[in-house]
Amino acid sequence: MEDGTKTRSGLSQSSSKLRYGQPVADTRTPTQRSFIMRSVGTKDTGPEMQLRKMLHRAGYRYRLHVKKLPGRPDLVFPQRRKIVFVHGCFWHGHGCSKGQPPKSKSYYWSPKLAANKARDARRIDELGKLGWQSMTVWQCELRDPVAALQRVQKFLDNGQNSDRHGRQ
């Protein structure tokens, strides 16, 4: 069975994962998987839209994806000289359950995710040198929208550059 033979469902087991000790084949064809991966955008993501709606309802006004700033930050508050990045846990290598790299093709994913983290750190340093304060809101934090909003409000109103995950 490990040599790529077909299962009863007709799917190859060589590309399967293990769930509860049993092989589970990818339910998508390579073309479908490619389409899904290509559709992952950098702007207007679900977590970003959720935070934007909460901040707007709370009375905050911001600019989006300012091209003149390093890294095109998600939310820019020009009068306050503050920036909020909304990061997806997987793509930016967060330590939560959603941020774990895939176990397959680690030769591809490990350097890619490490480069994303290094680029994020460089962008935050560049923004700091330009006089901007920044904070990161992680996708997993938005599971508790009230706490996430309070943390962002505290940052925007008091200048606290805190992150409950020990990152900025």
60-98: per-residue pLDDT in tens?
999 998 899 998 998 999 999 999 999 888 888 888 888
CATH class of 41-158: alpha beta
pLDDT of residue 31: 84
Q: Where are the domains of the chain?
A: 1-39, 41-158
What's the rounded Cα separation, in Å, for the pair 154 and 90? 26
Other beta carbons within 10 angstroms of residue 13's beta carbon come to 16
User: Residue 64: helix, strand or coil by DSSP?
Assistant: strand
The structure tokens listed for 34 are 């490619």
pLDDT for res 10: 47
* Per-residue pLDDT at 165: 42
Residue 145 has pLDDT above 60, yes or no: yes
In the chain, the percentage of residues whose pLDDT exceeds 70 is: 73
User: Residue 66 region, left (φ>0) first, then alpha (ψ -120 to 50), else beta?
Assistant: beta
pTM above 0.75, yes or no: no
DSSP classification of residue 77: E
